[in-house]
Amino acid sequence: MASVCGFSTPIIERKCRNVLTSPTLSPRKIENLAVFNGSTTGVSLFFNKGQHWRFKPVPVAGSRDGVGGTAGDDPDDSLQASIEKSKKVLALQSDFFQLIAERRKMVSSIRSHTTDLDEDDIFLEQKDKSLPDVDLTSSSPVRTDEDKNASILSSSSRVTSAMEEVPEIRPSDKVGDEPEVDLPSEKASNLDSTQQLKTTDSKAFKSDVLPSFPSSSSYPARVTAAENENSTKSGSGVVGEVHDPAVEVEKPPPLAGANVMNIILVAAECAPWSKTGGLGDVAGSLPKALARRGHRVMVVAPRYADYAEPQYIGVQKKYKVDGQDMEVSYYHAYIDGVDFVFMDTAMFRHMQSDIYGGKRQDILKRMVLFCKAAVEVPWYVPCGGVCYGDGNLVFIANDWHTALLPVYLKAFYRDNGLMSFTRSILVIHNIAHQGRGPLEDFRSVGLPDHYLDLFRLYDPVGGEHFNIFAAGLKTADRVVSVSHGYAWEIKTVEGGWGLHGIINESDWKLQGIVNGIDTEDWNPQNDVHLRSDGYTNYSIETLQTGKAQCKAALQKELGLPVREEVPLIGFIGRLDQQKGVDIIAEAIPWMMDQDLQLVMLGTGRQDLEELLRQFEAQHRDKVRGWVGFSVQTAHRITAGSDILLMPSRFEPCGLNQLYAMCYGTVPVVHAVGGLRDTVQPFNPFEESGLGWTFDSADASKLIHALENCVLTYRDYKESWDGLRRRGMMQDLSWDNAAQKYEEVLVAAKYQW
Ligand SMILES: Nc1ncnc2c1ncn2[C@@H]1O[C@H](COP(=O)(O)OP(=O)(O)O[C@H]2O[C@H](CO)[C@@H](O)[C@H](O)[C@H]2O)[C@@H](O)[C@H]1O
């Protein structure tokens, strides 16, 4: 028989029995309950292992006899009061302990059902810890639905309803009052409870740890890429007053962190709309990688033709070029997180297939207009309704065609206290082309006389002349070359093409960054050009069969004998002195003595185009010389060839060898510039490396490397397979390079 202070207490007993026979109350909880109870009410519960229970009196601080209450002088009254009080308190507390027990269960259930990351754990940890800290003396009795709560552990989805039904503890309620349940709000009931948990806590968590991002300074309408995206999203239908914080939780912070900037890349060509070579590829893909890091990024390129995606945005401006007013208007497309802005003007129209064509003076005028207008794009061209403005802004100019931009930024703005915080980077893709001319050309650029010295250059070849690249290099805040090797080479007399002096003087602001590649466009797994005519997509897993099929398709398409065992060598490139086509010409007799096939694709110098035709005419069973510019054929040659030949005299970076390695095609290259940086020579003893290199641009060296390569292809299948796989396994994406560009942009930003 249970007792309180030695007296029979059937009512208390009944109440406690109800509590203790609750299906959700384990011996462990009863134990907790008993321990807690003892310190508060003057009675204690204890149980033995067989779960028989009984009360035991315990001393209560402040009681005269160390046993019970003090209701009156009459011991019977006092006892009765004590019993009544105990009854109420016991009933109240047993219910409340049940609530605690259920909350504990619920928390551990959520914990075991959620696979989410630390953020949740932090929250749950706190929730869990918070339970024992409830101020019990001021807590109200609460009602729980035992049947429902008993089953909440069975599925995470039920956690939602359980959370909704667990009533709030309201300190103002009095002991003995009918307990009330706070109904969950409508808003809360629409959310998954785990989301509610995450949301509440993540908010606090985020605000503590996230860096603060640069905010608009001189231009009120500037937004970051992330904000831009948000506004697009909200415009597209996430409406309503209830702000769903769960969305916020899932949005990762920008990779650029506190370095988020507004970036405008300006280039004379931009793939896929316009391309004559590697510059077009870079302008089309580097900006996307920068945008992925969280920057707000724009590309400004000429509108040479009627492109499908960009839409006219109704902005027109006039600029003076060589005394003439030229009108420009703008077209805009937002693709893969990048604002592509195309400048339309009479001068650019119909130049699509001859971007750098025309007389020297005509090209110069085009580039003057392009740069004058481009530097003002952040003021006049709204992207997503908002102009970039000049705060936190950096321009990336590319090669001589846009080297006037840093000069205009300085002369028209910064020297006049405008756009003071805007910076410019000049990227050297090829220093051999510089925008040279007689000094009189200075009149065409429309600058005050005292800027002439920036352009004036003397070298033994050109004498004293006007040099646009020179002015750009001197004026840009930072200079990037497209590989480390090339950064070193352009400081030498041989590699600097007359600009080595200026580059050496600017050494402190020069950095080499190896190009990346667009892994969407150039990926054998989903290359759109491999989906017809017998070609197939392939990956490293299906390399053997997939590549063999592409090779057969290429041979068939070009009318070469379809033979799997013959090594097929490819060449793709602009036909000029740089690319070493004449070195291949010298090696042709040796090559034709071998059992191999050669496919060449290129356009450029007429004499070299003629050479390609000649090769094919003389060796119809072995050689194909495709004169022209065909992106599809370039992709197919990259996939179908076994070997890619690049005997470039100089190569600032080179993209074709990178594409080749991605497609399991082994490069044989002159170890120069970016080719040396990216093609580690094969080491047969260690089974390492990615291809063959030769150390000087002459035919005998090329032949020697090619001989070893073909020998490995024929006789060392495993080594060959290893070479291909190592090439394919590299991460050649733009993401690494974009991070390095970001470092340069930040360095420029803080440079005065
Ligand atoms: N006839 C043809 N048909 C179809 N596609 C063709 C083609 N001829 C060339 N291409 C394509 O144009 C691009 C050429 O890229 P490269 O990097 O080799 O050359 P380029 O010398 O123009 O670029 C300069 O800039 C780039 C970018 O920085 C540097 O990598 C490089 O070293 C430097 O000389 C490749 O995408 C290639 O497939």
134-155 pLDDT tens trace: 232 233 333 333 333 322 222 2
Structure tokens at 169: 């503890």
Structure tokens at 137: 């003396």
Structure tokens at 404: 């006037």
Handedness of CA 380, 382, 383, 388 (dihedral sign): positive
The stretch 470-497 carries a mean pLDDT of 97
Does residue 691 line the site of ligand 1, with CB under 6 A? no
Does residue 264 line the site of ligand 1, with CB under 6 A? no
Q: CA torsion 519→524→528→532, rounded to 10°?
A: 170
Does residue 482 line the site of ligand 1, with CB under 6 A? yes
Pocket test for ligand 1, best of 655, 657, 675, 732 (most atoms within 8 A of CB): 655
Return the CATH number of 261-512, one of 3.40.640.10, 3.30.429.10, 3.40.50.2000, 3.20.20.70. Answer: 3.40.50.2000
Pocket test for ligand 1, best of 274, 428, 429, 641 (most atoms within 8 A of CB): 429
- pLDDT given for residue 258 in this prediction: 86
CB-based contacts of 249, cutoff 8 Å, min separation 6: 119, 198, 199, 202, 203, 206
Compute the distance between CA of residue 476 and CA of residue 479 in angstroms, rounded to an integer.
7
The residue length of the chain stands at 752
Q: Does 127 or 642 have the greater pLDDT score?
A: 642
If you search the block for the tokens 């060898």, which residue do you land on?
657
Query: Over the stretch 606-630, which tens digit does the pLDDT of each residue have?
Result: 999 999 999 999 999 999 999 999 9
Of the candidates 31, 393, 337, 425, which has an alpha carbon nearest to the alpha carbon of residue 221? 393
The stretch 522-534 carries a mean pLDDT of 98
Compute the distance between CA of residue 189 and CA of residue 163 in angstroms, rounded to an integer.
9
Q: Where are the domains of the chain?
A: 11-234, 261-512, 528-732
Compute the distance between CA of residue 656 and CA of residue 434 in angstroms, rounded to an integer.
23
Query: Over the stretch 286-335, which tens digit does the pLDDT of each residue have?
Result: 999 999 999 999 999 999 999 999 999 999 999 999 999 999 999 999 99
User: Which amino acid appears at position 717 of this protein?
Assistant: K
Query: Over the stretch 336-380, which tens digit does the pLDDT of each residue have?
Result: 999 999 999 999 998 999 999 999 999 999 999 999 999 999 999
Does residue 429 line the site of ligand 1, with CB under 6 A? yes
Q: Whose CA is nearest to atom 2 of ligand 1?
A: 629
Q: What are residue 436's phi and psi, to 5 degrees?
A: -85, 155
Interstrand relation of 623-627 and 597-604 (parallel, antiparallel or unpaired): parallel
Say which range, 7-21, 240-254, 388-402, 737-751, has the weakest mean pLDDT: 7-21
Assign domain 528-732 to its CATH architecture: 3-Layer(aba) Sandwich (3.40)
How far away, in angstroms, is 651 Cα from ligand 1 center?
Answer: 10
Query: Over the stretch 255-265, which tens digit does the pLDDT of each residue have?
Result: 988 899 999 99
Instruction: Let me know: does 518 contact 281? Beta carbons within 8 Å.
Output: yes
Q: What are residue 295's phi and psi, to 5 degrees?
A: -75, 155
Query: Over the stretch 583-600, which tens digit does the pLDDT of each residue have?
Result: 999 999 999 999 999 999
Q: What does the DSSP 8-state code read for residue 517?
A: B
Q: What does the DSSP 8-state code read for residue 155?
A: -
What residues are paired with 694 via a beta bridge? 670
Q: Does 752 or 199 have the greater pLDDT score?
A: 752
Q: Roughly how many angstroms between the first and final C-alpha of the chain, as a whole number?
A: 89
Of the candidates 112, 85, 101, 136, which has an alpha carbon nearest to the alpha carbon of residue 27? 101
Handedness of CA 612, 613, 615, 619 (dihedral sign): positive
- pLDDT given for residue 149 in this prediction: 32
Structure tokens at 36: 């807690």
DSSP H helical ranges for 412-483: 452-455, 468-475
Q: Whose CA is nearest to atom 5 of ligand 1?
A: 631
SS (H, E, C) 216-285: CCCCCCCCCHHHHHHHHHHHCCCCCCCCCHHHHHHCCCCCCHHHCCEEEEECCCCCCCCCCCHHHHHHHH
The stretch 658-670 carries a mean pLDDT of 98
Instruction: Let me know: does 620 contact 591? Beta carbons within 8 Å.
Output: no
Does residue 572 line the site of ligand 1, with CB under 6 A? yes
Compute the distance between CA of residue 654 and CA of residue 643 in angstroms, rounded to an integer.
16
- Equal CATH topology for 261-512 and 528-732: yes
Distances (CA, A) of 533 to 44, 380, 549, 559, 660: 87, 47, 11, 13, 20
